Amino acid sequence: MERLTSFAALEEYRGQLVAGRDPQRVMVAVCAGTGCIGCGANQVVAAFKKELAEQGLADKVEFRATGCHGFCERGTLVVIHPQRVFYQVVSAKDVPEIVEKTVKTGEVIDRLLYADKTDKDQKVLHEHDVPFYKHQRRLIFGNNGAIDPTSLDDYIALGGYAALAKALATMQSDQIIAEVKRAGLRGRGGGGFPAGVKWESCRNAKGSPKYVVCNADEGDPGAYMDRSLLEGNPHSVLEGMVIGAYAIGSNDGYIYVRNEYPLAVQNATIAIDQARAAGLLGKNILGTDFSYDIKISRGGGAFVCGESTALMASLEGQAGEPRAKYVHTVEHGLYNRPTNLNNVETWANVPYIVLHGADEYRKIGTEGSPGTKIFSLVGKVNNTGLIEVPMGITLRDIIYNIGGGIPKEKKFKAVQTGGPSGGCIPAEHLDLPVDFDKLYDVGSMMGSGGMIVMDENTCMVELARYFTAFLSDESCGKCLPCREGLTQMRGILQDICDGKGQDGDLDLIETLAGTIRECSLCALGQTAPNPVESTLRFFRSEYEAHIHHKRCPAGVCPPLITYKVLPDRCTACGACKRVCPAAAVEGQKKVVHRILVEKCIKCGQCYEICPADAIIKE
Amino acid sequence: MGAETFAPETVDAIVRKNGGTSANLILMLQDIQTEYRYLPHDALLYLSDKLNVPVARVYHVATFYKAFSLKPKGRHEFHVCMGTACHVRGSKLILDQIARELDLPPGGTSKDLKFSLDTVNCLGSCALGPLVVVDHEYVGHASLQKMKRIVANLKKKED
């Protein structure tokens, strides 16, 4: 496309795009986010392209391989516009039938429709009626399903870069900052610091050049909204960054992205090249005097690099070790220059605020946390996926109405929010309205938005051990409280899980947790005791059962459980005996089998394979 | 896959591609890792010389980040996701199973350089959990028996 050199040129171009697109035309959107690719989306995309070409429909029907739609549990997802017929669990072999029936004649294929787990006959036809989507408010994430992430035209046709044009044409930089402050936008990466305040400090800081950086080093295990945004709608992130750079007075920027996210790297790179060619990035943006360019930097796989000072060290080509933060990065950040860092989701909120105004934005969410939040709802929940909901929604609404409850009718035990630095929230707080402050009140935090649901089969002690081990591995080692404190804490927790817990261990853990919290250099260490403290607060009895009774109530910790065959359920099929790597199963045809405790290595294979559910863990 | 011995021209090309500045050291190391499946000692010395960066700093970076390995990796790589969502769905048992079948500890590479087994913190495909990536292919909803079959098939291929 030609370089756009004025605001009018952008609007004219958008007009042409919209006029050339018939909203009533059939459009097939296939989710090709990383989750669906894992379910075979690439094959589905290839099959559609082939089938549409062979049927001579390539010109008549529009086809888009889009970014993540969010409902990863049901991949591969296919949505047929304009009616938004919603097909789930689609594989390549379904494609000819979809083209033949739904695309050509509008006939619906019943077997591909979504049905609720509770009522298999109650099929849902349209995407917006599926319970998973119905209760969401998809302000930021909604366009993912409608655009091809590698097409700038798709983004512009839906109003893309209009906020940038508005900002450049009609707003002074302090007006933009005032608007973002008034909107109450808080950093979505975890801290929840007001973005507008940060921008203002960076703008007022002395020194040049200034840098405006996007944190896409999404390291929280169980959270993947930033990846999906950058993969599925990269231009929305770029637009937010350019507006921010204009407000702050920066001409250089970076996107620091995890190397484990190859598709995000690829799509962001494409988007940057396109935006630059179109005059929306780089020199003299939209014909104005303002210039701002972005480079991509790939991380090396270190969790601590999500921390701002570590990220900046890594951008400079150093090891990602944090430094003390009494010197603020907005004043002395990257290369010791003023640097403004926000994460992917925060940047993606900016165009909406600029375009619709702070008042409109504040209508969504709560007083202290306006807007929406994208969560990844994962773990022991029926509808795994990415959801965007208004702040203030209750945990119960999220887990039961959107998430569809717990699989296999198991009992809900807790939900873990905030990644490894967050905490576990038990059933008694299910009606808690979710926002930055409320989560903090119950000893957890928002983090980047991971929400891991746990059922009665999750051992909370083992979970605390898991997070502590994770953080101990990821600790950069620079400061002693975090490095040594977490190592000791991990050792104690491992002992408890192994049945070697002693009286006094819990007191020791609590003392240690306080020291790590108070004395660590960066947020990794300061928040590291959260998982332990929150599980101790709400699930102390489980710790006590491990220590005093050498029992794991959830049946998880291998040294504390034994596998057993229930004689009245055993059909003597021999599956467990064949699969056992330790020859620990005794039995023959028509004779009930038995597990020899002394030989059993507790690998769990018999438990998994038993067709009669006759094997239990105690 | 790349050659096993270090060639200066390869590193020269990588340095050129990344602008020749030490700020891009991490990106260069990533490219070297992709090329050789590990960071050969000689390549690091050469890079240090070329960029005029102390060897200690090159090693500081090379040993700090998880993406880098100072030892050669196997031809077939298993990455078991140990993210929280996979963890609560039993990824530890899956890891133990693969370790048993390959006779390798996590982080290990077989002597014949056929197999490597590693863990990864989260691949962001939590709906597929437990998740294992075998030679860059995602194996979702991994079960103990599924992994046993995959290992057996790869072993057969290698023989």
C-alpha span between A536 and A508 (Å, rounded): 12
HSE (CB half, 13 Å, CA atoms) of A506?
17
What is the pairing mode between strands A615-617 and B115-120?
Answer: unpaired
pLDDT number for residue B4: 60
A-chain residues within 8 Å CB-CB of B129? Answer: 378
pLDDT number for residue A590: 86
Structure tokens given for A242: 């350019």
Of residues B29, B128, B145, nearest to A38 (C-beta) = B128
Contact check, Cβ <8 Å, B64/A222: no
All domains of chain B in start order, with CATH:
8-64 (no CATH), 76-158 (3.40.30.10)
Would you place residue B3 in the very low, low, confident or very high pLDDT band (cuts 50, 70, 90)? very low
Measure the CA dihedral A587/A593/A599/A602, to 10°: 140
Would you place residue A358 in the very low, low, confident or very high pLDDT band (cuts 50, 70, 90)? very high
Which amino acid belongs to residue A44? Answer: V
What CATH code would you report for A372-455?
3.10.20.600
Contact check, Cβ <8 Å, A458/B121: no
Residue A585 β-bridge partners: A595
C-alpha span between A421 and A186 (Å, rounded): 18
Q: Which fold has domain A160-362?
A: Rossmann fold (3.40.50)
A-chain residues within 8 Å CB-CB of B96? Answer: 603
Class of domain A562-617: alpha beta
Contact check, Cβ <8 Å, B25/A317: yes
Q: At what angle do helices A234-248 and A162-170 cross, to 10 degrees?
A: 10
Nearest one of A265, A266, A256, A260 to A297, comparing CA atoms: A256
Cβ atoms of A381 and A406 within 8 Å: the answer is yes
Cβ atoms of A236 and A275 within 8 Å: the answer is no
pTM of the model: 0.91
**pLDDT digits 0-9 by tens, A170-190:** 999 999 999 999 999 999 988
pLDDT number for residue A472: 94
C-alpha span between A584 and A600 (Å, rounded): 5
The per-residue DSSP string of A6-45 comes to SHHHHHHHHHHHHHT--TTS-EEEEE-SHHHHTTTHHHHH
The per-residue DSSP string of A134-166 comes to HT---SSSGGGGTS-TT-HHHHHHTTTTHHHHH
Q: How many CB pairs under 8 A join A and B?
A: 147
pLDDT above 70: residue A48:
yes
C-alpha span between A124 and A110 (Å, rounded): 9
Nearest chain B residue to A607 by CA distance is B144
C-alpha span between A579 and B37 (Å, rounded): 35
B-chain residues within 8 Å CB-CB of A476? Answer: 64
pLDDT number for residue A468: 95
A-chain residues within 8 Å CB-CB of B130? Answer: none
Cβ atoms of A356 and A368 within 8 Å: the answer is no
Contact check, Cβ <8 Å, A454/B88: yes
Structure tokens given for A267: 């799509």
Contact check, Cβ <8 Å, A224/B84: no
**pLDDT digits 0-9 by tens, A403-414:** 999 998 899 999
Nearest chain A residue to B64 by CA distance is A319
The whole-angstrom distance between B112's CA and the closest CA on chain A is 24
Contact check, Cβ <8 Å, A319/B60: yes
C-alpha span between A459 and A463 (Å, rounded): 6
C-alpha span between B82 and A399 (Å, rounded): 23
Give domain A22-127's CATH superfamily: Glutaredoxin (3.40.30.10)
Q: Please give the residue that has the higher pLDDT: either B92 or B159.
A: B92
Of residues B88, B120, B145, nearest to A458 (C-beta) = B88
Which amino acid belongs to residue B108? Answer: G
**pLDDT digits 0-9 by tens, A415-463:** 999 888 889 999 999 999 999 999 999 888 898 899 999 999 899 999 9
Q: List the single range of A114-118, A354-358, A519-523 with lowest mean pLDDT.
A: A114-118
The whole-angstrom distance between A367's CA and the closest CA on chain B is 31
Within the 191-250 window of chain A, which residues sit less than 8 Å (CB to CB) from chain B? 218-224, 227-228
Contact check, Cβ <8 Å, A301/B93: no
Decide if B130 touches A, using CB distance below 8 A: no
pLDDT number for residue B2: 42
Listed in order, the ranges of chain A carrying CATH 3.40.50.11540 are 160-362
Decide if B128 touches A, using CB distance below 8 A: yes
The SS3 call for residue B7 is coil
pLDDT number for residue A435: 93
Listed in order, the ranges of chain A carrying CATH 3.30.70.20 are 562-617
Cβ atoms of A435 and A365 within 8 Å: the answer is yes
pLDDT above 60: residue A349:
yes
Contact check, Cβ <8 Å, B84/A318: no
Work out the average pLDDT over A501-530.
Answer: 94
Within the 250-269 window of chain A, which residues sit less than 8 Å (CB to CB) from chain B? 259-261
Nearest chain A residue to B22 by CA distance is A317
Of residues A72, A220, A300, nearest to B30 (C-beta) = A300
**pLDDT digits 0-9 by tens, A581-615:** 889 999 888 899 999 999 999 888 899 899 999 99
- Burial class for A305, CB neighbours closer than 10 Å (0-12, 13-18, 19+): buried
Show Cβ contacts of residue B153 under 8 Å, excluding neighbours closer than 6 positions: none
B-chain residues within 8 Å CB-CB of A384? Answer: 85, 126-127
Listed in order, the ranges of chain A carrying CATH 1.20.1440.230 are 460-548
Which amino acid belongs to residue A530? Answer: N
Of residues B24, B29, B84, nearest to A416 (C-beta) = B84
User: Candidates 3.40.50.2300, 1.20.1440.230, 3.40.50.720, 3.30.830.10; correct CATH number of A460-548?
Assistant: 1.20.1440.230
pLDDT above 60: residue B1:
no
pLDDT number for residue A595: 94
pLDDT above 60: residue A512:
yes
Within the 304-363 window of chain A, which residues sit less than 8 Å (CB to CB) from chain B? 314-321
The per-residue DSSP string of A511-554 comes to HHHHHHHHH-SSHHHHHTTHHHHHHHHH-HHHHHHHHHS---TT
Structure tokens given for A478: 């620079």
C-alpha span between B94 and B131 (Å, rounded): 9
The per-residue DSSP string of A195-221 comes to HHHHHHHHHHS--SS-EEEEEE---ST
Listed in order, the ranges of chain A carrying CATH 3.10.20.600 are 372-455
C-alpha span between A26 and A80 (Å, rounded): 7
Work out the average pLDDT over A213-235.
Answer: 92
pLDDT number for residue A191: 82
Contact check, Cβ <8 Å, A300/B26: yes
Q: What is the 3-state secondary structure (H, E, C) of A40-106?
A: CHHHHHHHHHHHHHHCCCCCCCEEEEECCCCCHHHCCCEEEECCCEEECCCCHHHHHHHHHHHHHHC
Decide if B70 touches A, using CB distance below 8 A: no
Contact check, Cβ <8 Å, A378/B27: no
Q: What is the mean pLDDT of chain A?
A: 93
Structure tokens given for A278: 């179109």
Nearest one of B125, B3, B21 to A264, comparing CA atoms: B125
